[in-house]
Amino acid sequence: MGTQPMSLNAAQLQFTDGTSCRQWIAALPLTNVQSTQLLLTQQIALARQAGIDPVELLRILEALREPVAYVQNELARKYTARPLPLEAPETALWTRGLGLWQELIDGYLACRDAHVQGDPGLKDHGALIMMRCLRYMFYAMFEHSRIYRQVPAELWEKLHQMYVFAEQSGFARTTVADVFARQEADSSCCAAYCQALLAQLANPFALSGRQMEFLARWIEKWSGMVSLASQPLPPSAIPALAIDLAGRTGPVFAEGREPLASLRYLDLEQIGRTLRQTITLLKQGQTPAQLGLGEDARQPGCENLLMLLYIQWCRAGTSRGEQRDPSAEKAQVCLGIHAAHFYISGRSFRGPGASLSRQEEHDMQLFGHISERTQRALVSSESSAVESWQLLNQSNSGFMCMLREPDAQLRIGHYQLVAVRRSSSKLFYLGLVQWLRIEENNELFVGVRLFPGIARAVAVRPANFNAPSAIKGFERALLLPEMAIPSTPATLILPTGWFQPGRFVEVHGDQKQVAKLVNLLEKGSDFDRCTVSFA
């Protein structure tokens, strides 16, 4: 059942039919989205329990869809793709959003039950009711993807059961018109069901918040292009995928699976053609807006996301293509340029020409060098923080799958800079967070893509521009050498916002060099990685 944020006994239902519900909606304080979300959750729960005539309950739910969508979308921005673990207010917002979707699902399921029992007012609305059940179950599932949580098996099971009901009732593929509000295109139960399948196949754990917004929008547009077959499909360039309607998971590879009556095979040929055509037209100069991808879609990000989706949906996904050697060793991990610079250099940061502190001068006089104790005392807690994670496996290309220890404290986000030192090595290697996934048991798995080469800690300062953050003097940076295999030019990892092609920076390491910034390879959440050429 749905989450009830306030006592229903202390509240009163504000409407009893579709007309009075629309009047109530007109007075909603939509500028206060959190308050409106609580009101909507409360009123849907009350309406479902009030014994309202089933067709009027359906009219009420249809009228409430628009304000529900508005407040849910507005509040989702406050927790979508945020660093993990979420802060308490973010978790509370996510939980309330999930509760509102569940109340809406429960309301439509009540209409479904009345339809099954032969209510005459709902005789012609069975397909619409089940399409809404499937659509809102997908929305509830997508809330988990927004915060990189694995969709619970319980939700997959309920989704499959809803689709089985639609099939058995004979309207899984029935075109459903929005007969009450006439505000959206025709759809079907099958299309609504396939939204959840496409979202799972898209590997949302590797997507940014903006990419997830486009994913949700595009799969609603394209899900009607996917069809489900009860028999295996003819051989195709697209790997065969199937969904088990009696199971508790998302789509799986169909190859080698014994045919079962509960299996449905995904036909992705049409959506594959559409993606290829759209990518080609973008390359030819048409804009995303002209192709119906959204007025806010921009290049090259739009084309990159389409290519990623094509790989995930029609080419078995990047994460499924490499064999990885299992391991179970510990690794030390630190996050961000400051921490990486400290552990790679082995000392606190001091720009060239900066004078020694009193404690450093004391160490130099007493020991002839700066002690490790002094180094650690000088470095900030942010820079010195290092965590112990479990390294589960690593591919030949340097991709690591890691399990973060449950007592880890630092928040971690997509495209964040990381430095990793395996237990068998003395060196830290640099990389970025490629994906995050929280399992049902709350374990946090992290995919890290390592950069080629061994990094050197250097100091940099702008040579022909002002630093974006108005920093005076030198700042931390990391220099990766040119590599022959794989062929990679020398790259600099700079503070975020420093890169523009053609800029020059002074690089101070073993010697002073002037580097020209050439191409941006990575725009991380807390760094810029770019190729450089030295004068």
pLDDT digits (tens, 9 = 90+) for 429-479: 999 999 999 999 999 999 999 999 999 999 999 887 776 665 567 899 999
475 CB-contact burial (10 Å; exposed 0-12 / middle 13-18 / buried 19+)? buried
The whole-angstrom separation of Cα 313 and Cα 323 is 20
What's this model's pTM, rounded to 2 decimal places? 0.88
* CB neighbour list of residue 170: distance below 8 Å, 6 or more residues apart: none
The SS3 call for residue 438 is strand
**Which CATH number fits the domain 325-450, given the four candidates 2.40.10, 2.60.40, 3.40.190, 1.10.10?**
2.40.10
**Amino acid occupying residue 177:** A
* 444-450 and 429-438 strand pairing: antiparallel
Three-state secondary structure readout of 215-261: HHHHHHHHHHHCEEECCCCCCCCCCCEEEECCCCCCCEECCCCCCCC
The whole-angstrom separation of Cα 369 and Cα 465 is 36
Cβ atoms of 433 and 336 closer than 8 Å: no
Q: Which residue, 113, 119, 97, is CA-closest to 40?
A: 97
Ordered by start, the domain boundaries in the chain are 325-450, 456-534
513: left (phi over 0), alpha (psi -120 to 50) or beta: beta
The whole-angstrom separation of Cα 19 and Cα 39 is 18
Per-residue pLDDT of the chain (535 residues; tens, 9 = 90+): 444 444 445 579 999 999 999 999 999 988 899 999 999 999 999 999 998 999 999 999 999 999 999 999 999 999 999 999 999 999 999 999 999 999 999 999 999 999 999 999 999 999 999 999 999 999 999 999 999 999 999 999 999 999 999 999 999 999 987 665 555 567 899 999 999 999 999 999 999 999 999 999 999 999 999 999 999 999 888 999 999 999 999 999 988 888 899 999 999 999 999 999 999 999 999 999 999 999 999 999 999 999 999 999 998 774 443 444 555 788 999 999 999 998 998 877 766 655 555 666 666 677 777 676 666 665 555 556 788 899 988 887 778 889 988 777 789 999 999 999 998 889 999 999 999 999 999 999 999 999 999 999 999 998 877 766 655 678 999 999 988 877 788 999 999 999 999 999 999 988 889 999 999 999 999 999 999 998 7
**Which DSSP string corresponds to 28-72?**
--TTSHHHHHHHHHHHHHHHHHTT--HHHHHHHHHHHHHHHHHHH
Q: Which residue, 192, 169, 81, is CA-closest to 122?
A: 169
Give the DSSP H/E element, type plus range, for residue 463. Answer: none
